[in-house]
């Protein structure tokens, strides 16, 4: 059921119609009590709000909490579950499952370290999912209606719709606003595929409700969702077939980085097919997939099929036409200050961003608070936004990639090191991976970096900090890092840069000085 078609209230005994709240266990009931309490009494709107926020995912929550904290009168409207994709059907449940999958990986490699364990037989998929649901419920008070109420935010549940440029309607109530924020996020985009209307398939909204491991899982799409979940399910025991359209997995990353990840995924059992086209599905006892690859026809039977083929913005039923807010397939159009084509209405997060990440939604929302309420001039395009895909190894990136630099004709010097040269990585058996940093040609100004490593997501922040605050690679080289750590690899790139400054002329000066002072 498309989100906009879902019922807004639930009959007795049903905690929610949302697929992500199945199964009806104590963890999911706790989650729903926090993020969509059945007995919620909405406030009676009185007077005009400084800010009405539509959508209580990361962008909406940050905008509402931040504005209320600064003294604004704020309303927050959510039609499904507060916390949005990240808490309910995105980052949180996926990383919960990935953590379990990494345990399997560690156990499988035990004998390399002289520790013999058996991995496969011991996997209890139902328990893995229950752990994830319990942890998700544990995290959910942060995003709860009660917490936001305590922060001074008026929380409403229901489908929000603009009436005019000063009014939003929700569940029969009309809220007046000075400024509004559209933070309605995105949902899974499903390509049109022959036979799909006759097959039950999974998306990120339903996959985290599984309680039984699909023996054979087909995953369509080899972006971050496809790769993270394909590898995790494979490690948990599914036979996974991954069908990607691009020539390599994680097409937004440089080919050398994604090649390392593809090799690890293959090692972990994922059958990767790149450059696929003409996918067709046929229902039956199993779901039959056929596709073309290098002009050859292929076939595989799977028990469940997961679509991870990108996102579609939630622009429907908001009545955006009535308020002159322009949108297209990519979402709501905004200027550099996150203002839509209606000057009183702003947008933040996945609904308007090419960077669909929780931390990007967070920082866009912070910019909106300044720009909408305090005449701020914060440009969201100035944000330096890193990201990390949580495969094993992880791939983290910030700024320009090599192929972007080439496309944009920007001269760069690249410094790189493989983890085969890093003592800590060697000792931990984690040598698959690399770190590369790009600097503006003939300078140490960092313009981008990619790290492939088990904890690349933790490591990239050193580079993001340097880029955000204008610290050059030379400065990283002169910063003491503890030995042995994997971040030392970044420091060594600083050394590499500093050595380039030792030109033959400078070296000859040093030699003359040393000879003279002997």
Give Cβ neighbours of residue 252 (< 8 Å, ≥ 6 apart): 223, 397, 401
298, with CB counted inside 10 A (0-12, 13-18, 19+), is: middle
Which residue, 10 or 355, is less far from ligand NAD as judged by CB? 355
| Residue 359 binding partner per list ligand FAD, ligand NAD, none, with a CB distance cut-off of 5 to 8 Å that depends on partner kind | ligand FAD
Tokens representing 298 are 């292929």
Residue 251 near which of ligand FAD, ligand NAD, none (CB within 5-8 Å, type-dependent): ligand NAD
CA distance 160 to 318: 6
Q: Which is nearer to ligand NAD, 236 or 308 (CB)?
A: 308
Residue 4 corresponds to which tokens in the numbers above? 């906009």
Pairing label, strands 287-293, 304-307: unpaired
78 binds, among ligand FAD, ligand NAD, none (CB under 5 to 8 A by kind): ligand FAD
Identify the bridge partners of residue 396 per DSSP, sorted by sequence position: 388, 451
Residues in region 298-337 near ligand FAD by CB under 6 A: 314, 317-318
What minimum distance in Å lies between the beta carbon of 388 and ligand FAD?
7
Ranked by CB distance to ligand NAD, the top (closest) residue is 223
275 part of the interface to ligand NAD, by CB under 6 A: no
Gap between the Cα atoms of 463 and 363, Å rounded: 18
d(CA 84, CA 143): 9
| Site map (CB under 6 A) of ligand FAD, residues 76-115, x = contact | -xxxx---xxx---xx--xx--------------------
Name residues contacting ligand FAD, limited to 13-72 (CB under 6 A). Answer: 54-60
Strand order across the beta sheet in which 394-399 lies: 387-389, 394-399, 446-453, 434-440, 412-418
Is 228 annotated to bind a ligand? Reply is yes
Nearest C-alpha neighbor of 16 from the set 212, 2, 92, 31: 31
Structure tokens at 402: 């090599």
Q: What minimum distance in Å lies between the beta carbon of 201 and ligand NAD? A: 12
Residue 73 interacts with ligand FAD (CB under 6 A): yes or no = no
Q: What angle do CA 66, 68, 69 make, to 5 degrees?
A: 65
The answer to whether the annotation marks 60 as part of a ligand binding site is no
Q: Which helix (H) or strand (E) holds 516?
A: helix 504-516
CA distance 424 to 490: 13
The site partner of 244 among ligand FAD, ligand NAD, none (C-beta below 5 to 8 Å per kind) is: ligand NAD
Residue 165 site contact among ligand NAD, ligand FAD, none (CB < 5 to 8 Å, cut-off depends on kind)? none
CB of 487 to ligand NAD, least distance (A): 20
- Which does residue 362 bind out of ligand FAD, ligand NAD, none, counting CB within 5 to 8 angstroms by kind? none
Tell me whether residue 55 or residue 433 sits nearer to ligand FAD (CB atom).
Answer: 55
**Short-list 185, 164, 183, CA closest to 174:** 164
Work out whether 310 is an interface residue with ligand NAD (CB under 6 A): yes
Which segment (50-58, 315-323, 388-396, 463-471) binds ligand NAD by CB under 6 A?
A: 388-396
CB closer to ligand FAD, 257 vs 315: 315
Binding to ligand NAD in span 193-232, by CB under 6 A: 220-226, 228
What is the DSSP code string of 236-279?
TT-EEEEE-SSSSSSTTS-HHHHHHHHHHHHHTT-EEE-SEEEE
Per-residue contact flags (x/-) with ligand FAD for residues 219 to 258, judged by CB under 6 A: ------x---------------------------------
The distance between the two most distant Cα atoms of the chain, rounded to a whole number of Å, is: 92
Cα pseudo-dihedral 206, 304, 100, 111, rounded to 10 = -170
Contacting residue, 179, 273, 311, 378, with ligand NAD by CB under 6 A: 311
Q: Which residues bind ligand FAD (CB under 6 A)?
A: 54-60, 77-80, 84-86, 90-91, 94-95, 159-160, 183-186, 204, 225, 314, 317-318, 349-351, 356-359, 361, 390
Residues that bind ligand NAD (CB under 6 A): 191, 220-226, 228, 243-246, 251, 276, 279, 308-311, 356-357, 387-390
């Amino acid at each position: 059921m498309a989100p906009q078609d879902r019922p807004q209230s639930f009959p007795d005994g049903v905690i929610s119609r949302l697929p992500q709240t199945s199964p009806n266990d104590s963890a999911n009931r706790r989650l729903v009590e926090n993020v969509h309490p059945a007995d919620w009494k909405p406030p009676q709107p009185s007077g005009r709000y400084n800010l009405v926020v539509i959508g209580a995912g990361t962008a909406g929550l940050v905008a509402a909490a931040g504005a209320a904290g600064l003294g604004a009168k704020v309303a927050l409207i959510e039609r499904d579950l507060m916390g949005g994709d990240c808490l309910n059907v995105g980052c949180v449940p996926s990383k919960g499952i990935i953590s379990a999958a990494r345990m399997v990986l560690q156990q499988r490699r035990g004998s390399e370290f002289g520790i013999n364990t058996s991995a496969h037989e011991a996997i209890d998929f139902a328990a893995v999912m229950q752990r994830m649901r319990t942890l998700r419920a544990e995290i959910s008070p942060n995003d709860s209606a009660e917490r936001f109420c305590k922060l001074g935010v008026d929380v409403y549940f229901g489908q929000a719709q603009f009436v005019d440029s000063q009014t939003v309607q929700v569940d029969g109530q009309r809220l007046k606003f000075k400024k509004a924020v559209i933070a309605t996020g995105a949902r899974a985009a499903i390509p049109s595929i022959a036979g799909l209307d006759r097959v039950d398939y999974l998306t990120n909204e339903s996959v985290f409700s599984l309680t039984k491991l699909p023996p054979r899982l087909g995953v369509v799409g080899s972006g971050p969702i496809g790769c993270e979940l394909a590898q995790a399910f494979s490690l948990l025991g599914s036979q996974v077939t991954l069908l990607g359209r691009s020539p390599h997995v994680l097409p937004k990353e440089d080919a050398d980085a994604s090649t390392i990840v593809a090799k690890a995924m293959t090692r972990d059992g994922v059958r990767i097919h790149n450059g696929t086209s003409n996918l067709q599905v046929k229902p039956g006892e199993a779901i039959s997939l056929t596709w073309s690859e290098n002009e050859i026809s292929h076939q595989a039977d799977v028990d469940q099929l997961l679509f991870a083929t990108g996102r579609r913005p939630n622009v429907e039923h908001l009545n955006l036409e009535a308020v002159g807010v322009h949108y297209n397939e990519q979402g709501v159009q905004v200027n550099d200050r996150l203002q839509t084509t209606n000057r009183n209405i702003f947008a933040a997060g996945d609904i308007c961003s090419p960077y669909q990440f929780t931390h990007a939604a967070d920082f866009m929302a912070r910019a909106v608070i300044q720009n909408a309420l305090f005449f701020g001039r914060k440009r969201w395009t100035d944000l330096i936004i890193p990201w990390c895909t949580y495969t094993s190894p992880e791939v983290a990136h910030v700024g320009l990639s090599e192929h972007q630099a080439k496309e944009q004709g920007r001269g760069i010097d690249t410094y790189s090191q493989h983890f085969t040269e890093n003592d800590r990585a060697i000792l931990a058996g984690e040598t698959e991976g690399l770190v590369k940093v790009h600097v503006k040609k003939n300078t140490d100004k960092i313009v981008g970096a990619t790290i492939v490593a088990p904890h690349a997501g933790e490591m990239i922040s050193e580079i993001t900090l340097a880029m955000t605050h204008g610290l050059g690679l030379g400065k990283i080289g002169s910063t003491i890092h503890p030995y042995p750590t994997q971040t030392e690899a970044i420091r060594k790139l600083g050394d590499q840069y500093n050595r380039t400054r030792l030109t033959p002329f400078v070296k000859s000066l040093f030699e003359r000085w040393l000879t003279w002072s002997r």
